[in-house]
Structure 1
Amino acid sequence: MGRVNDTKIALVTGANKGIGFAIAWGLGALGCTVAVGARDGGRREAAVERLRAEGVDAFGIALDVTSDDSVTEAAATVERTTGRLDVLVNNAGIGGRVDGGAQDPTTLDLDVVRTVLDTNVFGVVRVTNAMLPLLRRAGSPRIVNLSSNMGSLTLRTGPVMAAYAPSKSMLNSVTAQYARRLADTNVIVNACCPGYVATDFTGFTAPRTPEQGAAIAIRLATLPDDGPRGGFFDDDGPIPW
């Protein structure tokens, strides 16, 4: 598969493993050229080789979402390689330390909060704003932010994690702000929850596979031009904020 003009270009952050890899694979299976964004060079290249072995046109991009310089260089790499971006999936995220009451709200370690926000929220803003000029060159650009229903103020699911859960609440709010700002453009922005998926993030104890978790992100990444904007979705539909 060559990178011809009608081939959609998708960047997935944190794509070397877990849900991110499954999203990259799924978009590749639909014919997208996939940029695998990841910090670790060895893991990144291993993921690219796995995707290529499955017939996916993939290439790696060094990307640390917590680094302004890394994100700027990643955008330059996309520009040099493909000239535009059709899909951005902001998948990279961390749970943060939980030992010693670090995420108990009554003993909350603010350094843990800062670390989690730097990846889960600020990282999304860094990457999105760096890639927006490339997305605006596409005919039907899509941005998908990987959130969690733990960030739902209505549902309040999962364990008490007073750094991680609020980071997803803030990501949802930021997603809504982007959607409002881009309402009169062709850039469609949404957030999704992959569900409780068996990855190293969950100690591989969860019931859902990465492929199941990736499905909603892939659906939002390939929405038609009249698709929903500024929403929060899982497999069953809209999630309450």
Structure 2
Amino acid sequence: MTAYARVGVCTGSNKGIGLAIVRQLALQYPRSPLNSGPLLIYLTARNEERGQAALESIKLDPQLKRAKALRLHGGLTDVKYLPLDIDSKQSIEEFAAKIKQEHPDGIDFLINNAAIAMDGFNENVAKKTLHCNYFGTLEVTQQLLPHIKDGGRLVNVASLAGQLGSRYSSSIRSRFLHAKSPEEISQLMEEFSTAVSKGTHQRDWPSAAYAVSKAGVIGMTKTIAEQSAQKGRKVLINSCCPGYVKTDMTKGGGVKTPDQGAQTPVLLAIGNIKGNGQFWSNEKISSWE
């Protein structure tokens, strides 16, 4: 078995921004300050067929071939597929167990990119969106953060839609901004869900499940970074917005290509950065408020 100097995971990486993140990691790793030898990236997807097809597209990618990025071209990076559905606790537990079994000494970075964007807005949309985007991301984070090596990175992909702005009541904004634990953010997510089902959310919240789920991801990432630093862990933990990217999720809207959208997540995973518990967009620290 190949000995890898670095190991990374990108969730939801069979298409769109996730697949572009895997490509850009392979392209940029040789110039990364973290480059200390061969890199293994786990490309994950819920669906085996789509995951394997994405892996094949990486192996046949002409740009990667020209750059000699992959080990099969004499480069530094290997990419492997593993199944992961962040909507399923069992799937997350099986994935985490597999990673720990394969890499008992730990991994170097985790990019939580998997998410959904549903049409419409009602109680069902709110519940499903939060279950995947917020609670699924939180579960993967809690399962794998203890397994990230000191000096490693955790990147949670959020969105500028998760900025608090004026769409939240001052009390909800204040609770987001002053939360000290992920449990406090989870409580806010539960309250939003309950308010939507009762039809009372307009007093405090926007009518936008995706935006609220991403506000939750930004807030949760901030609290986990603070807790981790207090425990003396040397892992850089940040969230980011990839930008408005042309993907299936934006139904072909968007102004950035997936490769452009991948730049900030890749910078946070393997670039030369300072900052912990921050929200980034366009490759710099951005305001959450």
Coarse TM-score class (shorter-chain normalised): 0.7 to 0.9
* Shift in CA distance, 3/134, structure 1 to aligned 2, threshold 3 Å: farther
Number of the residue aligned with 2:43: 36
Is the CA contact (8 Å cut-off) linking 1:142 and 1:221 kept in structure 2? yes
CA distance in 2, matches of 1:3, 1:133: 24
Is the CA contact (8 Å cut-off) linking 1:89 and 1:143 kept in structure 2? yes
- Amino acid paired to 2:146: P
Structure 1 ranges of 4+ moved more than 6 A: none
* Shift in CA distance, 114/220, structure 1 to aligned 2, threshold 3 Å: same
Q: TM-score, length-normalised on structure 2?
A: 0.73
Q: TM-score, length-normalised on structure 1?
A: 0.87
Residues 52-101 of structure 1: CA deviation (Å, up to 9, x unaligned): 33424111111010111111110122123333211100000111221xxx
Q: Which residue among 132, 155, 159 is the counterpart of 1:148?
A: 159
CA distance in 2, matches of 1:155, 1:211: 31
The number of residues matched between the two structures is 224
Determine whether 1:97 maps to 2:104: no
Is the CA contact (8 Å cut-off) linking 1:190 and 1:220 kept in structure 2? yes
CA distance in 2, matches of 1:155, 1:212: 29
CA distance in 2, matches of 1:233, 1:188: 13
CA distance in 1, matches of 2:131, 2:26: 29
Is the CA contact (8 Å cut-off) linking 1:116 and 1:163 kept in structure 2? yes
Number of the residue aligned with 1:227: 274
Determine whether 1:240 maps to 2:287: yes
Mapping of residues 49-198 of structure 1, within 5 Å: 49-53=56-60, 54=64, 55=70, 56-83=77-104, 84-98=106-120, 102=121, 109-135=122-148, 138-154=149-165, 162-183=208-229, 184-198=232-246
Is the CA contact (8 Å cut-off) linking 2:150 and 2:233 kept in structure 1? no
Larger radius of gyration: 2
Q: CA deviation at 1:146?
A: 0.6
CA distance in 2, matches of 1:79, 1:60: 16
Q: CA deviation at 1:161?
A: 5.3
Q: Which residue among 52, 61, 70 is the counterpart of 1:45?
A: 52
CA distance in 1, matches of 2:155, 2:19: 15
Which of the pair is proportionally richer in helix? 2
Is the CA contact (8 Å cut-off) linking 1:120 and 1:168 kept in structure 2? yes
Is the CA contact (8 Å cut-off) linking 1:3 and 1:33 kept in structure 2? no
Q: What's the % identity of the aligned pairs?
A: 34
Q: CA deviation at 1:144?
A: 0.4
CA distance in 2, matches of 1:205, 1:86: 33
Q: CA deviation at 1:145?
A: 0.6
Q: CA deviation at 1:206?
A: 1.5
Q: CA deviation at 1:40?
A: 0.6
Is the CA contact (8 Å cut-off) linking 2:9 and 2:43 kept in structure 1? yes
CA distance in 2, matches of 1:79, 1:48: 22
Q: Which residue among 262, 270, 279 is the counterpart of 1:214?
A: 262
Number of the residue aligned with 2:174: none
CA distance in 1, matches of 2:235, 2:283: 24
* Shift in CA distance, 64/37, structure 1 to aligned 2, threshold 3 Å: same
The alignment's C-alpha RMSD in Å is 1.8
CA distance in 2, matches of 1:118, 1:39: 15
Residues 115-152 of structure 1: CA deviation (Å, up to 9, x unaligned): 001111101111111112321xx242100011110111
